[in-house]
Structure 1
Amino acid sequence: MSTSVNEPFLLSTYTVPKRFTRPGFPVANVYATHQYASTSSADGFVTVAAQGDGVNILDLSTLHPVVSHTLGPSTVFSCLPVSRIDKARACTTYAVLEAAQGVRPEDRGKTARMWRDSLAGETNTTTAQVTVKTEAFSHRITQLAVPDELPTNVLLFGPNGEITVADDDLTVQYSHTFEDASEVQKFFIFDRSQATFVPRRSSLKDGAVIVSLVKIAGSSVLRIVGIDANGIKTLADLPIAGSLAVLDATCSSTGFISILELSGNWHSLQIESPDYSTFVLTAPSSPFGLRNLTFVSTSGAESSSPFAHEAAVLSLGSSHVLLAGVTSPPSSEVVLLLWDLQYSVLLASRTLPIPATISRSKKQGLWLQLSGSSRSQQALLVLSSIPASMLLNGDLGSHAASDDSTQRSAVFVVPMTVPPSSSVANALGRASAGEKWLASAASAGTQASAVDFGLNASQTKLLKQMKTAMEQKRPEAADDVFFAWVSQHEGNRSKSRLNAKLPFGYQLAKQVLEILFRIPKNAATDIPYSPKVVRYLMKQRCVSASMVDGGLFAALRLRNDWESLLLSLKTVMDIPEADVIGLLHTSISAPRQKQADDNAMQVDATTPDTFVPSLQTVLALCVTYTMSAPALRLAIRQHLPDAAELTVVLQALHEMVNAWCDEDVLLLPDRTKKDPHGALVPVIEEKQKGALPPLDKVLVFLQTLLDSSFLTFLTYLPSHAILRDILSHLEPELSFTDDVELLRGPLEPFVRAHTKTVHEAAHGAQKPDLKVDWRRRRKEAHEQAGMAVGVYQIEELLL
């Protein structure tokens, strides 16, 4: 599926009245949210709260307003409004008032207002009557939410982690306050059915899942909270190592999190549940830095830059994230960048000129906002002017808007085409697309943060101890530290999770391998290395070939760790085909080189006394390893150009084919036995064939070998006899396969009957589907009888 960001179009514009008075903290001129509704509107609705004006709801299908609530120039909104539209086209809208007529000074920022009315065009006068209710709460409100799985509730969130659950009339049902939350930087709300990162075994079966980015005692924490009919419960607190100057953040329903810093560093995290009951935080990719965007600041202090609001991010599902920013001078355009952060590639982009009606200067930036719905291929982009009074010497006190130039805002709709999930196919060939926006690690300062990001305190301590031991050339001490850490965490697991694997995230495994494979500056030939930890990680299937600079195979071959090389062919899934065939070539050339050295004079012998695995062992692993046929053909031509070496491989494959062809064909089982449910099942005892790979994989590898080197075999006479012998063994097998295939039809009913018997013994007899009409069942029975073809029926044709 192609990925694209189409041309944005203008939805509406707004102007802040000159009589509007700003509060003592930054507020945007316009707040806009997108809601998907199960009505005739296929594109959903947009709820806009305009400062000094009111709340408007627009239909994206017609681009016209359907509901409007005007409140006057004294109205100040402090956060995004939300709307809920049901199938009867009844619309309920909620907004938080910082100031408005009738709002007491002590209730500023704590007051929510609800409007319930019908969408435009409703003919029922009863439902068309507007219901308005205003309610003050015990805490400030920074965010609202109306989850689909809580259809009669509205959620209200506070700046210090407060969560209040009210009914649709704003009557409080229950609330919860986290005493340790000093500042909540972002809330993400999901329906329980959409939050796939929450395991099915979780006690939360329905309702809503809240993920919040919280700063506690100067450290960032991801807090996962569940809300259902029984109340509010904390599911997990996941600490994030390092100090982050967060500008914006995203979270998808799959648990993929991105955190954008003021310095331009962009981090990725993934919420996982390896044992299906607890949560861990891993880093699926290394952080990277951005450049050529105005918000990027080396100081990391928001108040020091007038362009700190000129960036916003929005999750589009999976690891796809949309970034909106303003390009650095001289162009100064709004740019929309659609990234796949799992692979750190730019998939699509679009530029948009800043409207002439929106003022922007070197000392006065813009306020960018992004919002969207997970069910729509559209996003909302809001561009607002920032008053100069908000930026003057960092003073955010109360100022009248009349001191500034006319403040205008524009709401754009951004159509997009985004795949439902991240894939390698979409990322291939896109590495160079984002070079313009990517900063080097040195200039962006990401190198230091990449080491510890995504790791908890225990893992960070482990890496430091292992690094110290390897720098002192004590690899055994590094092994002891690592396995002591493993034993400690295995002992902390509960009895119900003893069989669960330890959660080795990508970042932890990558950093451990970098420490173990690091070469000291003054090391000539004696490189400190111990393979125990490497093999342990391989057995846990945590190792990727790309984790090691220069490749995993190159690092292992430099240390003559042949046992780990063979193990990697069983556990590592992304080894390049060139490395695999290169290892095969080594297993061929090493014995020949040793034989040549044995025949030479002793003074000329230079072969090191190292173990090299046999050709049969390596070839068996190469045959069973999953590889791409085109890349494999290229690797064979590159590493096996010699006809004699190719013939050695052909002879080994010939022996494998002969071994399989000499096996007796077992048509009937040795015996039968009853399964735990009392049904008879066949017992087939498979013979142990040692390192002999399956015949189908042998033939696939043989075919690829012939495709790449058949002309070489034709010009090399010793290979002709082997090719004829392989053909003589395969032709009878093909004839036998054709003969056995004829038995498929007569035996198929017996196989189905036995399968049905085993299934009914385990699950009981299948009840007839009462939903199918009896006329349909009778028609199907007549059609089957009319065919007159059954297990023991034979068609007769009379001429």
Structure 2
Amino acid sequence: MDGETIASLGECVLPVEDTDLLDVSCSNSGFISVLLPSGTWLSLSLSSSPSGSLSIAQASEPLRLQGLTFIGSTRTSEATLAALTSSHVLLSAVTSGSPMEIVTLLWDLRYGVLLAQQAIPVPSTLPRPKKHGAVLQLQVSPPSTSDSDSTKARTVSMNAILVLHPSPEREHQAESGSAPARSTVLVVPVTVPLKSTIAAAMGKASAGARWVSTKSSGPNSQGQGQTTRGGPEVSANARKALREIKAAIDGSATGSTIAAETVFFEYVKQQGKGKGATQGEGQTIPLEYPFVQGVLEFVLHPPSHLQGKTATYSQKIVAHLLGIRAISSSMVEGGILPALAERNDWGTVSLAMGSVTDLPENDIVSLLAQIVKVHASSDDNAMQVDSAPAPTAAPTLPAFLAQCVVYPFTPALQRTAIRKHLPDAADLVPVLTIIDGWIVQHTADDALLSASDNTVEAASLPPLEKVLAFLQSLLDASFLALLAHTPAHKLLRALTAHIQPALEQTNELELLCGPLEPFARAAAAKAKAQAEAKEGGKPDSGKDWRRKRKLAHEQAGMAVGLYQVEELVL
């Protein structure tokens, strides 16, 4: 290429049997990498002869990737390549583990080693439909060359720009409760050697073990992905179990899942027997991500997506998967919480709130709004003597609100969700009333002096810092609406009257942190020792007794014991 003119040097056919290529990268030195949907990553070298003809040859053994969502699935847009220098290639993709992350991997494909990696959580505002997923695009800025002071080896610094945006092929009819789709642009600074050297690759053989499959493949396996989503990650037993579960559900005219549950729990039992010796007694055997997602596709179809078909739902299977923390919200199209709420299975919703770590704020506040409406309707029915109670299995508002308060959230997304699903100040009044009651319980004088091991109170009363954080997001989102709602004025004044003394009391108690810290440490050490003794624990290793002896020596030096107090009288 000379200025604005591109000169053709010739044509060369890639030695790849599969015509379905996911992405291709080519560096200035002629190093080409080809990524296939099956997870196979080919390394090729392009060279020119003195006569001017081009030739291409395999540069190294292909890598077979694993642990990424694009492998063997329709989410081929969730992976992207960018050539750097020599045989250094940058790969960005979405992991298939729980919680899901976006990883950026720096590979030296000439030696098949991973040089560096970086991971970030998948943004909750990025829609990832089950069929197509999101779109990842990677672009590298022109490099700036710098010489190292200690060696003659040269490195280049550049910025990799990673763009995350919704798939253009996703469903155009967005649900009314879905969060607005947003694109994200990330800048990843990269410093990479100008040339690939064996010295830089030495010692890095095991760095990429998580992402490279060690399973052998046949000669004709190149480019042929597994039929089950997740490709090479799904074992033969898992594929067999999925086929049997699907056959059991399809063969039931009434939508019964009894046969499917039998197959599922038999597979889980066999997994435990096969790996019990290596995992140890009492440890849960992790299930493969594609297997869990495949099971959920069969037993947790959202009712709104079934057109005239009998709904299939297995509460036993879903509860078991939630109990072992094998489910992420993105495994179910539309989210796990909306799917369970459509089934009116609020008990499993409560279980999901305590075990799923990536629940979107939009889904949680949407369910809170539903509970508020149920709470309001139950109060109206209570005023009518002859009316029957509402036939609902929804939890009480204080119980569900407590789960919402303790669940981690991002304040900005929480405020957006509150404005969207709780725009009416009248719906916020019962929520604020409950929060005000919690603050009163926390700041009461007898609560400060009561024992802290009351498990019944702790289960129903969220921590004060969580309550105040949730209250701040709620007021930031709806304060103007509450000011315009006259019945809320008395409640706002009560909140102010209860919070102000609590803040003053907290400032006074902070002064005691330093003097009481040694006693708190001694009490914590004693509680830990009692817990270990109750478990009937293991004999102390050499490291344990040395640590205990050092701790005892330090405590003796400080002259502070659990009940040891020195008094100086003048």
- With structure 2 as the length reference, what TM-score do the two structures score? 0.57
Name the counterpart of 1:763: 548
8 A Cα contact 1:479 1:533, kept in partner: yes
The one-letter code matched in structure 1 to 2:503 is L
The one-letter code matched in structure 2 to 1:269 is Q
SS class of match (2:456): coil
8 A Cα contact 1:482 1:533, kept in partner: yes
Name the counterpart of 1:549: 333
Name the counterpart of 1:209: none
Distance 1:564 1:725, change over 3 A: same
Distance 1:291 1:719, change over 3 A: closer
Distance 1:291 1:573, change over 3 A: closer
* In 1, Cα distance between equivalents of 2:385 and 2:525: 73
8 A Cα contact 1:577 1:635, kept in partner: yes
Shift of 1:636: 0.4
Shift of 1:661: 1.8
Name the counterpart of 2:164: 429
Name the counterpart of 1:234: none
* In 2, Cα distance between equivalents of 1:10 and 1:634: 49
Shift of 1:740: 2.2
Distance 1:733 1:288, change over 3 A: same
Shift of 1:451: 6.4
SS class of match (1:513): helix
* In 1, Cα distance between equivalents of 2:432 and 2:297: 38
The within-5 A match list for 1:162-241 is: 186=61
Shift of 1:706: 0.6
2:290 aligned with 1:507: yes
Shift of 1:752: 7.5
* In 2, Cα distance between equivalents of 1:745 and 1:691: 31
Name the counterpart of 1:725: 494
The one-letter code matched in structure 1 to 2:436 is H
8 A Cα contact 1:338 1:346, kept in partner: no
2:73 aligned with 1:338: no
The one-letter code matched in structure 1 to 2:327 is V
2:384 aligned with 1:587: no
- With structure 1 as the length reference, what TM-score do the two structures score? 0.42
Distance 1:289 1:745, change over 3 A: closer
The within-5 A match list for 1:165-564 is: 186=61, 248-249=62-63, 259=64, 268-270=65-67, 286-287=71-72, 322=81, 338-342=90-94, 370-371=110-111, 374=114, 415=156, 429=164, 448=227, 450=229, 453-471=232-250, 472=252, 473-492=255-274, 493-494=276-277, 497-518=280-301, 524=308, 526-564=310-348
Distance 1:476 1:336, change over 3 A: same
2:465 aligned with 1:688: no
8 A Cα contact 2:353 2:407, kept in partner: yes
Aligned counterpart in structure 1 of residue 429 of structure 2, from 647, 651, 659 = 647
Shift of 1:527: 1.4
1:606-637: CA deviation from partner (whole Å, max 9, x where unpaired): 99833111111110100011111001001101
8 A Cα contact 1:284 1:505, kept in partner: no
Structure with greater strand share of residues: 1
8 A Cα contact 1:346 1:430, kept in partner: no
* In 2, Cα distance between equivalents of 1:760 and 1:285: 49
Aligned counterpart in structure 2 of residue 615 of structure 1, from 397, 414, 433 = 397
SS class of match (1:501): coil
Shift of 1:563: 1.3
Instruction: Name whichever of 459-468 and 545-554 sits farther off.
Output: 545-554
* In 2, Cα distance between equivalents of 1:661 and 1:369: 61
SS class of match (1:507): helix
The one-letter code matched in structure 1 to 2:355 is T
Shift of 1:9: 5.7
Name the counterpart of 2:133: none
Q: Mind listing any 5+ residue stretches in structure 1 that lack a counterpart?
A: 1-5, 13-26, 32-49, 53-77, 81-142, 144-185, 187-247, 250-258, 260-267, 271-282, 293-318, 326-333, 350-367, 378-412, 420-425, 436-443, 671-683, 769-790, 794-799
Name the counterpart of 1:205: none
* In 2, Cα distance between equivalents of 1:570 and 1:629: 20
* In 1, Cα distance between equivalents of 2:522 and 2:381: 66
Name the counterpart of 2:349: 565
SS class of match (2:327): coil
Distance 1:760 1:736, change over 3 A: farther
8 A Cα contact 1:323 1:337, kept in partner: yes
Shift of 1:558: 2.1
* In 2, Cα distance between equivalents of 1:464 and 1:663: 61
Distance 1:735 1:592, change over 3 A: closer
The one-letter code matched in structure 1 to 2:92 is D
2:458 aligned with 1:661: no
1:741-764: CA deviation from partner (whole Å, max 9, x where unpaired): 233444457668999999988532
SS class of match (2:66): strand
Distance 1:290 1:611, change over 3 A: closer
Name the counterpart of 2:359: 575
Name the counterpart of 1:107: none
Aligned pairs, number:
398
Distance 1:599 1:535, change over 3 A: same
Distance 1:755 1:561, change over 3 A: closer
SS class of match (2:301): coil
* In 2, Cα distance between equivalents of 1:639 and 1:28: 53
Shift of 1:490: 2.2
* In 1, Cα distance between equivalents of 2:155 and 2:293: 38
8 A Cα contact 1:343 1:427, kept in partner: no
Instruction: Name whichever of 538-547 and 550-559 sits farther off.
Output: 550-559
* In 1, Cα distance between equivalents of 2:344 and 2:230: 28
8 A Cα contact 1:284 1:506, kept in partner: no
The one-letter code matched in structure 2 to 1:465 is E
Shift of 1:640: 0.5
Distance 1:596 1:445, change over 3 A: farther
Structure with greater helix share of residues: 2
1:57-99: CA deviation from partner (whole Å, max 9, x where unpaired): xxxxxxxxxxxxxxxxxxxxx998xxxxxxxxxxxxxxxxxxx
Shift of 1:494: 2.2
Distance 1:734 1:509, change over 3 A: same
Distance 1:527 1:718, change over 3 A: same
Shift of 1:524: 3.2
SS class of match (2:446): coil
Shift of 1:589: 0.6
Shift of 1:536: 0.6
* In 1, Cα distance between equivalents of 2:307 and 2:409: 36
Distance 1:578 1:445, change over 3 A: farther
1:536-562: CA deviation from partner (whole Å, max 9, x where unpaired): 101111111111112222221222211
Shift of 1:320: 9.3
SS class of match (1:494): helix
8 A Cα contact 2:329 2:336, kept in partner: yes
* In 1, Cα distance between equivalents of 2:76 and 2:331: 25
Distance 1:483 1:291, change over 3 A: closer
SS class of match (2:164): coil
1:208-254: CA deviation from partner (whole Å, max 9, x where unpaired): xxxxxxxxxxxxxxxxxxxxxxxxxxxxxxxxxxxxxxxx31xxxxx
RMSD: 5.2
SS class of match (1:765): helix
SS class of match (2:91): strand
* In 1, Cα distance between equivalents of 2:169 and 2:293: 24
* In 2, Cα distance between equivalents of 1:29 and 1:726: 70
The one-letter code matched in structure 2 to 1:590 is V
Aligned counterpart in structure 2 of residue 734 of structure 1, from 493, 503, 508 = 503
